[in-house]
Chains A and B, each alone.
Chain A
Amino acid sequence: MNSLINQAFKKAKNEKRPALLTYTVAGDNTKKKSLEILKLISNYADICELGFPHNTPIADGGQIQTSAYRAIKNGVKINDVFSIAKDFKKIKKNKPIILMGYYNMIFQYNENKFIEKCKKSKVDGLIVVDLPYPENKVLATKCKRKGINFIQLVSPTTSNDRLSKIIRDSHDMIYYISMLSTTGGKLKVAPKKILERYDSIKSLDKSKNIVIGFGITEKTIKSLKKADGLVVGSLICKEITTSLKKRQNAVTNVINVVKNLKNKIK
């Protein structure tokens, strides 16, 4: 498969560094601002994850919750999320974008309609936090048929038996959750330990791109640079919150954070 996601990983590999993936919430804190942030961080990030906000996010920590509540409060609807993605792709047509969120939003929108809309908006991938394997098989197949990557998550608690099945059925990218935590938790496991587990997963199928997420900050990113990719989310959401509080320009501040992260893994 030569998806944009695959190409992004290849490019990073050629530059002998992990791919940098960013996560921001669509509509945080406004539709316009979040598009602007997305456009500018994509100068540094290899893949952009865009969250569609939900008000009962059972796997997200405080930072992402705050971003999601802020976006919902400012009136962001699911169709706005698609239009942000679409507008982004008009300008950055080769930059992969992945939508990420909770299943109820997709269920209410209707699965088929949702995927159709992803396709129309040129979305490259989809992560559904609360639809694990094998329950997500049907949706994953539907995505694949439309050329959309369905990204499977694996965690430290995933059994070996499930792990091999998940990897077998996965598409171009797999998301490894570094530790038992919600998003934005402090990295409570030694990077060495995380990489050990990462290596054993990677050894099951070297052709899959595996990214590590959860607990990645300016301090920890360097120690995990061996991975195919690293995801930073809460740190960015937190920066938006702090900037708004200090009445500073959230866009510039966020770009600086991402630029800095990129420098650490070059």
Chain B
Amino acid sequence: MKLKRGIPLIDQHDQHGFWGGKFGGSFIPETLKKPIEDLTNEFKKLRKEKKFLKKRDYYFKNYIGAPTSLIRLDNLTKQLGGAQIWAKVVSEANGGAHKIYNATVHALICKEMGKKYIVGDTGAGYAGKMLSMAAKKFGLKCKIFMGAKDIKRQKPNCDAMRKNGAEIIPVYSGSQTLVDAVSECMRYWVSNCDNTHMCVGSTVGPNIFVKICGWSTAQISRELKLQLKLEFNKIPNKLKLINCVGGGSSAYGFWSEFIDYDKKRIELIGVEAGGSKKSKLHAAPLSRKTKIGILHGAASYVCQNKEGQINETESISAGLDYPGVSPMHCFLKDTKRAKYTYATDEEALNAYQMVTKYENLNPSLEPSHAFAEAIKIAPKLSKDTIIIVNSCGDAKKDRDILRERLVKK
């Protein structure tokens, strides 16, 4: 299993859609074969069209607000006394998280395909909120599938979705979280694929959805590369890019331009959700030894039992609370290009408190997992090492959880 140079990772799959011969693919019911084939052809065509690229860039700049800033966290750096810590404040993007890139691109594709309805899944509610925003912007009718448990814990994002005119479909099956929301959304698409476009909220699902999402979030690393050159006059020699990983869309977007670099120079560190310290449950298929399985149309490392039933996951962060992970991250793990670890709920909360205490930054619980790792390793590193954390979400949506968890202490 080997990575290729000079080819975007989203295109490094074989003809059956597998990365490294075993991750990804399209395990779908027969009914979805045709709509997925149509979408695949459409995307293949659009990504080469100058007109479409111009449109994408226009909306990324004028609607999403690209580029998001790269800032140095001086106080945190001083406090930890080691590597320089920086943040790419992707949460500045319209809507408050990286999910807007994928949502915007899907809405544009939906329009190009002449479909009037768009559906999507959501965990933390960001993917849903952004899709509802994009749908409103482009005049599409929108339905968002969301686990009943997540609806309760991410109320601010639900309010936003409704305000944007989207219908939230609560999902009561299984664990009532993201995994079931994705299943229900796929079921809906099976039944309505003739007039409806489906957006998968992360770099997961059948091959084409992994590709579209990765193609969209890659904007983050294109910006970062320019910003690094401006800031340091070149790409620094000791660079660590730390990102939380649920499905893995922000991490892929943050890393895509840097995968070809030597890993000794640019280290890629993914931080999964380790769940509560006291609980055996987690959402960390890459860092806590799981086997390859098939979930939502793709083969990846999956939290599952011996029989192949998907395990319940647990994390304080709804956006990371998913038993599978992007096939591209499985590939990066097995080729040893990226390193994956996890942070517990408690570590993420501590990191959140520390970052907000020293910096004018309000990272949501998802990137707080990445900050936890940065805080852990920074003191041991030399002063010329640059750590950049992708602060890919804003904590406004976590208002209720933070209030509850931080007051109790």
Contact = CB atoms under 8 A, between A and B. Distances in A.
B33 to A, nearest CB: 5
Interface residues of B, number: 37
Nearest to A131: B27
Contacts of B57: none
Given A58-B183, A132-B33, 9 more contacts: A54-B308, A56-B309, A58-B296, A108-B304, A108-B306, A157-B31, A158-B30, A162-B33, A180-B191
A55 B187 contact: no
Contact of A182 (B27, B190, B307): B190
Given A59-B29, A153-B30, A158-B30, A65 B173 contact: yes
Given A59-B29, A107-B294, A155-B30, A185 B191 contact: yes
Interface of B: 16, 25-35, 37, 173-174, 179-180, 183, 186-187, 190-194, 291, 293-297, 304, 306-310
Given A57-B183, A158-B34, A104 B191 contact: no
Contacts, number: 109
A130 B307 contact: no
Nearest to A188: B191
Contacts of A65: 173
A158 B295 CA distance: 23
Interface residues of A, number: 39
A59 B28 CA distance: 9
Interface in A31-72: 54-61, 65, 69, 72
Interface string A148-180: 000001111111001000000000000001001
B294 A103 contact: yes
A105 B295 CA distance: 11
B26 to A, nearest CB: 7
A217 B341 CA distance: 51
A177 B187 CA distance: 14
Interface of A: 54-61, 65, 69, 72, 77-78, 102-105, 107-109, 129-133, 135, 153-159, 162, 177, 180-182, 185
Given A55-B174, A157-B35, A157-B193, A104 B29 contact: no
Q: Counting chain A CB atoms within 10 Å of each CB, which of B28, B37, B187, B310 scores highest? A: B187
Contacts of B304: 104, 108
Contacts of B306: 108
Nearest to B310: A56
B31 A56 contact: no
Contact of B191 (A72, A159, A181): A181
Contact of A130 (B29, B187, B310): B29
Given A59-B190, A157-B193, A130 B294 contact: yes
A159 B33 CA distance: 9
B295 A56 contact: yes
Contact of B297 (A60, A130, A180): A130
Contact of A107 (B35, B293, B296): B293
A112 to B, nearest CB: 16
A60 B47 CA distance: 34
B30 A182 contact: no
B309 A55 contact: yes
Contacts of B35: 157
Nearest 9 CB-CB pairs, A to B? A108-B308, A157-B34, A104-B294, A59-B29, A155-B31, A104-B308, A153-B30, A130-B27, A105-B308
Highest count of chain B CB atoms <10 Å: which of A57, A58, A103, A107: A58
6 contacts: A56-B183, A102-B294, A103-B27, A132-B33, A158-B33, A182-B187
B30 A56 contact: no
B307 A77 contact: yes
A41 B407 CA distance: 59
A159 B34 contact: yes
A65 B304 CA distance: 18
Given A58-B296, A107-B294, A69 B28 contact: no
